[in-house]
């Protein structure tokens, strides 16, 4: 799994660098917000996968313990040196205080980390699914030559790979609960953990590896619709400058409440009349009292809005940028 995550991280890093300057609409609550770049969105995936690699390596370390300490952990029939030597050959460390078993909190930690990673993959898969929706259509998961999207509607290209990842992530996440319940065993041991662990451990690890490999396939074959991305920016009618305009007016001494109401009025007017927000702003007499057209052109510009994206890439990737 760790190797798959590292491979995926590298693939996403290369895509992030490729699309570092591809401007797209950012969305909050499903609504147009301010522009970002597609590369920046991918960079957030890169960082999350990097964190998950660190988490999984820690989890591997956390479970790399064993015990050969007898029926209740007292070494009543064995010398501790035997345990030490055998576990050394297995690349395991000695559990400092064991009972008949290794404490189950170690394994609960592993499964919880796996569930977090599965949830990260669900987030990424959900983002791709959303961006593939017909009304957005900015990104598409791979669609093979003879693949069928719908048994009833031949025109469809359903994001079934990402949907499958979401479905499996939900199942993996559900496996946290039995592992947490397994921490509390009676005295020096009972068998209430045994049966479910035979399912939880293989299911979690096999499915997480499968999801990782599917993600590698998706990002290796991801389709980016640059024309649609540009078209969707146009649909925003430059309303994404509203926040910056609000700040500029406040810097001119206007109270925030007054400036907010003014910008909101102009924003709604642009939407109602289906006109450019900038065009309406530049013609507004109230705006002209505080900001010249030269100032508006200087600050209400995509390059200005996204001027710090390069710095974010440098902060994350350092030598690669």
Active site residues: 29, 150
In 3D, which of 43, 63, 156 has the Cα closest to residue 114?
63
Maximum separation of any 2 CA atoms in the chain, in Å: 92
Cα–Cα distance measured from residue 235 to residue 32, given in angstroms and rounded to the nearest whole number: 9
Cα–Cα distance measured from residue 102 to residue 81, given in angstroms and rounded to the nearest whole number: 18
In 3D, which of 5, 9, 18, 3 has the Cα closest to residue 44?
9
End-to-end CA distance of the chain: 28
In 3D, which of 206, 209, 201 has the Cα closest to residue 176?
201
Sign, Cα dihedral of 59, 219, 315, 238: negative
């Amino acid at each position: 799994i760790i190797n798959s995550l590292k491979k995926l991280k590298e693939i996403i890093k290369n895509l992030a660098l490729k699309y570092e300057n591809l401007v797209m609409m950012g969305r909050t609550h499903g609504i147009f917000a301010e522009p970002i770049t597609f590369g920046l969105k991918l960079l957030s995936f890169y960082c999350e996968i990097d964190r998950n690699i660190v988490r999984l390596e820690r989890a591997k370390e956390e479970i790399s313990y064993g015990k050969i300490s007898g029926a209740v952990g007292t070494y009543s029939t064995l010398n501790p040196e035997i345990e030490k030597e055998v576990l050394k050959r297995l690349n395991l460390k000695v559990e400092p205080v064991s009972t008949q078993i290794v404490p189950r909190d170690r394994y609960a930690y592993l499964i919880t980390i796996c569930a977090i990673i599965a949830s990260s993959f669900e987030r990424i898969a959900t983002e791709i699914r959303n961006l593939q929706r017909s009304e957005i259509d900015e990104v598409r998961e791979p669609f093979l030559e003879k693949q069928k999207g719908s048994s009833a509607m031949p025109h469809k290209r359903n994001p079934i790979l990402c949907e499958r990842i979401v479905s499996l992530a939900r199942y993996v996440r559900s496996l946290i609960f039995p592992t947490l319940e397994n921490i509390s065993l009676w005295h020096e041991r009972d068998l209430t953990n045994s049966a479910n662990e035979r399912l939880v451990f293989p299911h979690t690890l096999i499915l997480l590896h499968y999801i990782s490999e599917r993600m590698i396939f998706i990002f290796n074959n991801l389709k980016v619709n640059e024309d649609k991305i540009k078209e969707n920016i146009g649909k925003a009618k430059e309303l994404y400058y509203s926040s910056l305009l609000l700040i500029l007016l406040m810097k001119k001494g206007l109270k925030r409440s007054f400036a907010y109401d003014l910008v909101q009025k102009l924003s709604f007017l642009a939407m109602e009349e289906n006109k450019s927000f900038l065009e309406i702003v530049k013609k507004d007499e109230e705006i002209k009292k505080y900001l010249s057209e030269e100032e508006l052109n200087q600050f209400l510009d995509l390059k200005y809005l996204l001027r710090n994206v390069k710095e974010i890439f440098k902060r994350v990737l350092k030598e690669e940028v």
